[in-house]
């Protein structure tokens, strides 16, 4: 049973605004910037600080067809290829043609991207792209530069009174009117008080869901709050089963991991330099799997690693780069060497433990490229949304570009949309799950929703989640408020909801496509060449009619 709203205690303050943006990554910050000067009262809510989400960790860059030898048509074609038949072509075309101008706007607000000696932008090449089109900054620090420049611009606007910032605050639920239109937001502020912001529009820019998995590249903010909030508010979800894994995240022994950790990536470049994947018995992992061997595409490598982990019973495989010279480590991989050393691993003398890590949610809240969802008043942009750009598998470096452009587009839309004021109705609220359930929720998610899924594992996961969900104890909320744990309880509940939603969708989709791989249905099936829509009905996640991707 999933609640329509969460009971987080009595409301101690109420205010009005026109637009509330939840999230301060690329999507939320760019939305806020476009609303500045539009005469709207804007409140930007973030769990941590401006730029605290996945955006700041992005290493590759932003995809944009800038090179004169490249084109938006080629960018479109590479994206459709990666998306395995489930991209929305007009949306991808809009992204590809808007990307170069979006990069120019970033430069205009102060972004310092890497350049060639002649001064033109240095464009990188990444897997799946057939042209050099990755704009990057500081080598592998693109996200940090993007977050820096957007956050600085929003902070300047806040100092001028053009946007109000609520940092350290956690959005809990949408306020809804009698007709289910979203008319505001309930949140827990930085001081632990419950407040309500009445607003004409709520924009979700809450990023990913990685913290539901035991191993993820996502930061601690990525607990799927926006997805769960939208589901409770009645929004339609699309294709949440498509979760992209990075094949080689650093996997320190469990004793050195803690809940909420994000893992570091060991980039493909290490395999490009000749490092080999072996299992814990020393046998090669990729031999005979793919003609490109250890340099096969990400989903192929991730699936092969997962299969080997299952057959050996180990929670990792090994990346052997012990034959690299000291110079290679120092010149090419000083960061990875440092990350390993910090975790007590010396890759010059021992293989690096690696495992696939949850990396990116391709599905999410069903929205168009302007952020419009199935619920009036509720908008979704960036990783939390499913706009059709990412299809069944994300093309590298398209997500920052999408977050940036979709954020701008929702800002433009709300700048010209009349603001409606509606009164919120009280809905049935249920207590949040106890925060102590979080480790078990994460464990069962990792077991069921790994790289390689099956009906048996997903059914076991859903059974375990139902048992955990039934253990909510009405009335223990007070204790958690006193000890400051309401926020942790909300996150645990959202992780439970995200896990249930994703496993339900993954069990329904009886095929393998893109980044959804099933050991019991290893091939793509023609009848599944379509999207999957889900919604909360009477407390249960239910599949709606399927929308044909082919006919679109």
Q: Cβ 404 to ligand FAD, closest distance in Å?
A: 8
Q: Which long-range contacts (CB under 8 A, 24 or more apart) does 78-81 make?
A: 78/128, 78/129, 78/130, 78/131, 78/395, 79/389, 79/391, 79/395, 79/398, 80/391, 81/128, 81/395
Q: Cβ 75 to ligand FAD, closest distance in Å?
A: 13
CB closer to ligand FAD out of 149 and 289: 149
Interatomic CA distance for residues 26 and 408, integer angstroms: 10
Q: Which residues lie across from 185 on neighbouring strands?
A: 174, 197
H/E segment holding residue 42: strand 42-46
Q: Which residues lie across from 170 on neighbouring strands?
A: 188
φ, ψ for residue 13, nearest 5 deg? -145, 155
**Which residue among the candidates 262, 271, 298, 487 is catalytic per the annotation?**
298
CB closer to ligand FAD out of 226 and 457: 226
What number of residues does the chain have? Answer: 552
Q: Cβ 281 to ligand FAD, closest distance in Å?
A: 30
Q: Cβ 418 to ligand FAD, closest distance in Å?
A: 26
Q: Cβ 30 to ligand FAD, closest distance in Å?
A: 8
Q: Cβ 382 to ligand FAD, closest distance in Å?
A: 2
Interatomic CA distance for residues 212 and 220, integer angstroms: 10
CB closer to ligand FAD out of 278 and 361: 361
Q: Cβ 217 to ligand FAD, closest distance in Å?
A: 4
Residue 272 CB coordination number (10 Å): 11
CB closer to ligand FAD out of 60 and 485: 60
CB closer to ligand FAD out of 231 and 462: 231
User: Environment class of residue 415 by beta-carbon count within 10 Å: exposed (0-12), middle (13-18) or buried (19+)?
Assistant: middle
b/e sequence 20-41, b meaning 16+ C-beta within 10 Å: bbbbbbbbbbbbbbbbbeeebb
Interatomic CA distance for residues 25 and 300, integer angstroms: 30
CB closer to ligand FAD out of 390 and 461: 390
CB closer to ligand FAD out of 249 and 278: 249
Helix residue ranges, H only, 19-169? 26-35, 72-82, 89-108, 142-159
Residue ranges in contact with ligand FAD by CB under 6 A: 22-28, 45-48, 52-55, 57-61, 142-143, 170-171, 205-208, 217-218, 221, 225-226, 360, 382-383, 397-400, 403
Q: Cβ 6 to ligand FAD, closest distance in Å?
A: 11
Cβ-contact 158, 172 below 8 angstroms: no
φ, ψ for residue 181, nearest 5 deg? -65, 135
User: Environment class of residue 548 by beta-carbon count within 10 Å: exposed (0-12), middle (13-18) or buried (19+)?
Assistant: exposed
Cβ-contact 78, 53 below 8 angstroms: no
Interatomic CA distance for residues 191 and 205, integer angstroms: 22
Contacts of 73 (CB under 8 A, 6+ apart): 96
Would residue 132 show up in a list of annotated catalytic residues for this protein? no
CB closer to ligand FAD out of 486 and 512: 486
Residue nearest to ligand FAD (CB): 25
User: Environment class of residue 292 by beta-carbon count within 10 Å: exposed (0-12), middle (13-18) or buried (19+)?
Assistant: exposed
The SS3 of residue 279 is coil
DSSP annotation of 121 reads: B
CB closer to ligand FAD out of 80 and 171: 171
Q: Cβ 66 to ligand FAD, closest distance in Å?
A: 15
Residues belonging to the active site: 298
């Amino acid at each position: 049973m999933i609640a329509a709203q969460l009971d987080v205690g009595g409301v101690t303050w109420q205010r009005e605004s026109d637009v509330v943006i939840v999230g301060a990554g690329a999507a939320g910050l760019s939305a806020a910037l476009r609303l500045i000067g539009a005469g709207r009262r804007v409140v930007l809510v973030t769990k941590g600080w401006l730029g605290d989400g996945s955006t700041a960790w992005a290493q590759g860059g932003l995809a944009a067809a800038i090179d004169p030898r490249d084109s938006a048509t080629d960018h479109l074609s590479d994206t459709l290829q990666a998306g395995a038949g489930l991209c929305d072509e007009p949306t991808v075309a809009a992204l590809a043609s808007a990307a170069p101008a979006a990069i120019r706007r970033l430069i205009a607000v102060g972004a310092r991207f890497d350049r060639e000696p002649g001064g033109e932008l240095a464009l990188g090449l990444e897997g799946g792209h057939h042209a050099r089109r990755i704009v990057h900054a500081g080598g592998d620090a693109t996200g940090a530069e993007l977050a820096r420049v957007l956050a600085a611009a929003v902070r300047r606007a806040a100092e001028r009174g053009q946007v109000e910032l609520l940092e350290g605050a956690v959005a809990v639920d949408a306020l809804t009117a009698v007709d289910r239109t979203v008319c505001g937001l309930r949140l827990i502020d930085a001081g632990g008080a419950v407040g309500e912001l009445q607003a004409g529009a709520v924009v979700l820019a809450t990023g990913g869901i990685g913290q539901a998995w035991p191993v993820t590249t996502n930061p601690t903010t990525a607990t799927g709050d926006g997805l769960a909030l939208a589901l409770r508010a009645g929004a339609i979800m699309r294709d949440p089963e498509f979760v992209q894994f990075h094949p080689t995240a650093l996997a320190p022994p469990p004793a050195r991991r803690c809940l909420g950790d994000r893992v570091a990536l060991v980039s493909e470049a290490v395999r490009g330099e000749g490092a080999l994947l072996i299992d814990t018995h020393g046998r090669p992992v990729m031999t005979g799997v793919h003609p490109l061997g250890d340099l096969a595409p990400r989903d192929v490598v991730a699936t092969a690693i997962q299969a080997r982990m299952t057959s050996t019973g180990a929670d990792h495989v090994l990346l052997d780069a012990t034959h690299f010279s000291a110079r290679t480590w120092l010149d090419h991989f000083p960061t990875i060497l440092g990350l390993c050393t910090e975790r007590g691993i010396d890759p010059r003398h021992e293989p690096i433990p690696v495992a696939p890590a949850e990396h990116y949610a391709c599905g999410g809240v069903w929205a168009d490229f302007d952020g419009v969802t199935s619920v009036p008043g509720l908008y979704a942009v960036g990783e939390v949304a499913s706009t059709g750009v990412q299809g069944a598998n994300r093309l590298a470096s398209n997500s920052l570009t999408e977050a940036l452009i979709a954020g701008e587009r929702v800002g433009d839309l709300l700048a010209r949309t009349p603001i409606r004021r509606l009164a919120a109705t009280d809905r049935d609220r249920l207590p949040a799950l106890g925060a102590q359930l979080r480790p078990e929720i994460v464990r069962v998610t990792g077991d069921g929703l790994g790289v390689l899924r099956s009906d048996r594992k997903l059914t076991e996961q859903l059974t375990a989640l139902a048992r955990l969900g039934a253990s909510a104890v009405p009335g223990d909320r007070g204790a958690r408020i006193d000890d400051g744990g309401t926020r942790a309880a909300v996150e645990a509940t959202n992780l439970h909801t995200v896990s249930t939603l994703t496993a339900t969708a993954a069990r329904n989709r009886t095929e393998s496509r893109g980044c959804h791989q099933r050991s019991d249905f290893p091939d793509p099936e023609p009848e599944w060449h379509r999207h999957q829509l889900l919604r909360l009905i009477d407390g249960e996640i239910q599949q709606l009619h399927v929308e044909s991707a082919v006919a679109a």
